[in-house]
Structure formats: structure tokens, C-alpha cells
Chain A
């Protein structure tokens, strides 16, 4: 079964631009979570979508947004890019909504590495 697919894998943008990243979850998975990974901060939660609804949002500014489509594919958008947005953006899918003792295993994609110049 195909894994989580993230596109693009690498991209370079300049400050002030905006970027859209895409994530296709494992077939049948309805939950998609997004994380930002930086060397100093580890994995930081951005948001989670389940059945097209945002269930939870991390502590990121409003420049970070996302959405989920009826086929469970998800996109995240970052507007007015800043140098500090350079990071690896990871998408993870799970069969059930992530949380508590019912947390299903999260399956991560390989990430989209964003460099902001």
C-alpha cells in the first residue's frame, strides 16, 4: 500500500512569497497532521485535519493555514514567508483521529524541505 506522499520534496522561496505544500495520506486514512521540524525545536505541531475539519491547531501565526479535501488530501499554505520558516514540513496520516490512548500510529511522509532566502 502506498505511503504518505508529500510534494514538492524541496523548494526555495524568497521572503514575502507564499508557498503551498501538498500531502496525500495513505488510502483510507482520514486524519492528516502537519509538523514543522527545525534543528533547534524538533517536531512542532501545526494542525490536524480529520474529515475535512481542523481538529486542533498549534501555536503558529495565522500565516500558516491548511485545509483538507473530501478525498483526505491536505494542503498547507504559508504566506508572507520569513527566513525563520525555513524547515522540513512533515505530514502524517492515521486511520483514526490522533489523540489519547486511541492514538493510531502516525505514518509520516518524507517531508517537504523549504528554504527561504
Chain B
């Protein structure tokens, strides 16, 4: 029962263009969403988050959009840089019994120079 789904295992983008990573969730009790980035041989690092009371959160080149009715969120990276090449994990959390962070399987982003 995969509650957080990242259906694209990989994505390849040209440097300077926009990268869009998608994430879907099934648990309507999730109310907080995060994106983590992971380089090989390193632990994941927090990138950006969004609460369910918002539909957009922006931090520099990174913007996360949340569509609660569709249970869908996306991470936009503009402009993409080669250093952004990494695995991106979407994670979700809720209250009560859903409070623990549930991660998707990740999407490998490759930004080509």
C-alpha cells in the first residue's frame, strides 16, 4: 500500500530549462509535504516543504505546488543546473496515526550541461 507515489523513476532535463518532479498521495489525512534531495553516498537533505493550508511555496529556484483536490504535488526547479542532478524524494505527514513521514520511491533527476 504505497501512500506516496512518484511515478517517474527518472527525468532528464537540459541545463537552464525547467525541471518538474511530480508526486501523488492517497491518504487524505496527510497535511504536510516535503521534498528531500539525495546525492550518491550521502544522506537525504531537506529541500522545501508545504503545508496543506497553502497551494504554493517558493524558495529561490525551487517552488512546490500543492493541489489538494487532486492529491498531487509538484516540485519545479527553474533554471535547472547540473548540480541539481540527484534523487528527489517526496514525503508526506499527517496528524494522529499518520504523523510519521512517508516517502515516495524517488525520482532521479539528471540535468545535462
Contact = CB atoms under 8 A, between A and B. Distances in A.
Interface stretch (B14-22, B44-52, B57-65, B73-81): B44-52
Contacts of B95: 99-101
A111 interface: yes
Interface string A101-115: 101011111110000
Interface residues of B, number: 28
Interface residues of A, number: 28
B43 A108 contact: yes
Contacts of B93: 98-100, 103
A92 B89 CA distance: 15
Query: Which 7 A-B residue pairings sit nearest by Cβ, starting from the closest?
Result: A99-B99, A108-B43, A42-B105, A43-B103, A100-B95, A105-B46, A56-B100
Interface of A: 4, 33, 35, 40-45, 48, 55-56, 58, 90, 92, 97-101, 103, 105-111
